């Protein structure tokens, strides 16, 4: 059985289902880490709000994270300097550093631990050197290192000090107790000024959609601006303890980090709906370097990937008054969720936020990835097979590793019986 380590020995508070109609100034849809942090910031600001979650809080992507809190998001800063300029790169860095400090104040009783974060390369020393130079020019100390704790040689790694990790579900348990949350309350339809649930309507002045992949297709073109990526984590016992958190700059590489007595090995990444080898990706590492290690937990996670490597945080669309969104965290959901909460809390109050322009969902979408996403969608829609995804009609692919039906267009996933597991689809599939 595949089960996230974070669900062990954690008791999250439970909340009632919303019954009947209700009015609120701000509706937050989605009870993962991002939605909960938005709720927390709104409460601190004295804003009237409620949060709805279709299942249980933390039961989606949040419980399947590796829970690294870091401003080191792969080798992003040299690219940002080149493509978006110094101001954007610096704001992105400062926003994420601010998020780390915010967690440090809130999460001290949730296995919060300061650690170094390192991104390594197996083949390209120059890439690492350029990233070190870029980060240093933006005002953060970063080191080039050659000798690491990894069991294999690398051409180099960039090291950020004073990064962190924590226990995400213990964190949720700590901060949600007195928030106005309604569980088992899926939003079935979103209309101007109100949301429809199975038991009534929620009237709002503003709405934050924090559902991982946005659930509203009418605005924002997120079905073109996002795709989803699947990756796999194996937690093993009887393996070395790493003092740092490691990730390969290559999408096909491995990540490593420790929690308690376990070593996490992440890998096997592939676009959702495409073929992958799942948890077997860690086998080569275990057999070659840690033959005495014992598998204790295995789980998988899913990430929304944006067109340009930056999240979409802000107004949902040009003509969607009062709607806001946070999505496209590109595998860095911990810091991005905190950044989103700060930005969106300001925006719904009509306040300016110094980082909002960096993350604006209305920025240009003319990137090579846009055309890749479009081609994938057209090819899948034209594939004459069943079952089909209820979201936009794409042909589903069978994932033999996890025994699920996966959508290669937008990443919806369904059980073998057809029950929806991951959005953007909000409906089960009809396999008849």
- Same domain for 230 and 216, yes or no, is no
- Same domain for 292 and 389, yes or no, is no
- Same domain for 335 and 381, yes or no, is no
- Same domain for 154 and 230, yes or no, is yes
Q: Is residue 406 part of a domain?
A: yes
- Same domain for 295 and 350, yes or no, is no
CATH of the domain at 45: 3.50.50.60
Q: What is the DSSP string of 367-408?
A: SHHHHHHHHHHHHHHT---S-B-TTT-PBPEEETTTTEEE-T
Q: Is residue 317 part of a domain?
A: yes
CATH of the domain at 379: 2.102.10.10
Q: Is residue 93 part of a domain?
A: no
CATH of the domain at 235: 3.30.9.10
CA distance 96 to 313: 13
Q: Is residue 75 part of a domain?
A: no
What are the residues whose beta carbons fall under 8 Å from the beta carbon of 268, sequence distance 6 or more? 230, 231, 232, 276, 277, 278, 279, 280, 281, 282
CA distance 34 to 22: 23
Domain count, the chain: 3
Say what the pTM is.
0.94
Q: Is residue 427 part of a domain?
A: no
Nearest of 91, 86, 316, 111 to residue 219 by alpha carbon = 316
| Domain assignment of residue 136, given as a range | 112-165+226-305
Q: Is residue 188 part of a domain?
A: yes
CB distance 67 to 335 below 8 Å: no
- Same domain for 121 and 179, yes or no, is no
- Same domain for 44 and 155, yes or no, is no
CB distance 37 to 337 below 8 Å: yes
- Same domain for 232 and 211, yes or no, is no
Q: What is the pLDDT along the chain (432 residues), one digit of tens a residue?
A: 589 999 998 999 999 999 999 999 999 999 999 999 999 999 999 999 999 999 999 999 999 999 999 999 999 999 999 999 999 999 999 999 999 999 999 988 899 999 999 999 999 999 999 999 999 999 999 999 999 999 999 999 999 999 999 999 999 999 998 999 999 999 999 999 999 998 999 999 999 999 999 999 889 889 889 999 999 999 999 999 999 999 999 988 999 999 999 999 999 898 998 888 888 888 889 999 999 999 999 999 999 999 999 999 999 998 899 999 999 999 999 999 999 999 999 999 999 999 999 999 999 887 888 878 778 777 777 777 779 998 988 889 998 888 899 998 888 999 999 899 998 988 898 755
Residue 426 vs residues 294, 298, 358: alpha-carbon distances, Å: 38, 26, 30
- Same domain for 321 and 336, yes or no, is yes
> For residue 11, how many other CB atoms are within 10 A of its CB?
8
- Same domain for 232 and 298, yes or no, is yes
- Same domain for 158 and 231, yes or no, is yes
Q: Is residue 283 part of a domain?
A: yes
- Same domain for 298 and 336, yes or no, is no
Q: Is residue 57 part of a domain?
A: yes
């Amino acid at each position: 059985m595949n089960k996230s380590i974070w669900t062990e020995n954690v008791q999250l508070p439970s909340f009632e289902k919303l019954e009947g109609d209700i009015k609120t100034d701000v509706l937050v849809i989605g009870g993962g880490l991002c939605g909960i942090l938005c709720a927390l910031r709104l409460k601190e600001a004295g804003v009237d709000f409620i949060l709805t979650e279709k299942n249980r809080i933390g039961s989606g992507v949040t419980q399947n994270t590796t829970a690294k809190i870091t401003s080191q998001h792969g080798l992003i800063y040299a690219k940002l300097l080149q493509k978006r300029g110094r101001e954007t790169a610096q704001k992105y860095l400062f926003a994420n550093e601010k998020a780390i400090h915010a967690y440090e104040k809130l999460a001290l009783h949730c296995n919060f631990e300061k650690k170094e974060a390192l991104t390594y390369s197996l083949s390209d020393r120059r890439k690492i050197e350029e990233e070190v130079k870029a980060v240093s020019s933006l005002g953060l100390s970063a080191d080039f290192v050659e000798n690491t704790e990894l069991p294999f040689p690398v051409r180099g790694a960039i090291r950020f000090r004073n990064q962190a990790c924590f226990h995400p579900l213990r964190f949720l348990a700590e901060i949600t107790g007195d928030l106005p949350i309604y569980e088992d309350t899926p939003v079935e339809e979103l209309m101007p000024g109100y949301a429809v649930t199975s038991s009534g309507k929620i009237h709002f002045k503003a709405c934050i959609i924090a559902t991982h992949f946005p659930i509203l297709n009418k605005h924002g073109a997120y079905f073109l601006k996002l795709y989803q990526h699947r990756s796999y984590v194996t937690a093993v016992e009887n393996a070395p303890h790493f003092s740092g958190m490691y990730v390969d700059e290559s999408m096909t590489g491995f990540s490593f980090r420790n929690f308690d007595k376990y070593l996490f090995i992440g890998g096997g990444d592939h676009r959702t709906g495409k073929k992958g080898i799942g948890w077997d990706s860690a086998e080569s590492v275990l057999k070659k370097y840690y033959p005495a290690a014992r598998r204790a937990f295995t789980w998988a996670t899913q990430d929304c990937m944006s067109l340009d490597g930056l999240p979409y945080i802000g107004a949902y669309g040009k003509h969607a008054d009062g709607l806001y969104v946070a999505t496209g965290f590109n595998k860095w959901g911990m810091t991005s969720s905190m950044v989103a909460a700060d930005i969106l809390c300001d925006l719904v109050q009509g306040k300016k936020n110094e980082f909002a322009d960096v993350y604006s969902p209305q920025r240009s979408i003319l990137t090579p990835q846009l055309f890749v996403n479009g081609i994938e969608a057209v090819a899948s829609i034209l594939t004459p097979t069943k079952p089909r995804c209820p979201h936009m009609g794409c042909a589903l692919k069978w994932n033999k590793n996890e025994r699920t039906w996966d959508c290669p267009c937008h990443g919806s996933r369904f059980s073998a019986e057809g029950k929806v597991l991951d959005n953007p689809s909000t409906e089960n599939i009809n396999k008849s």
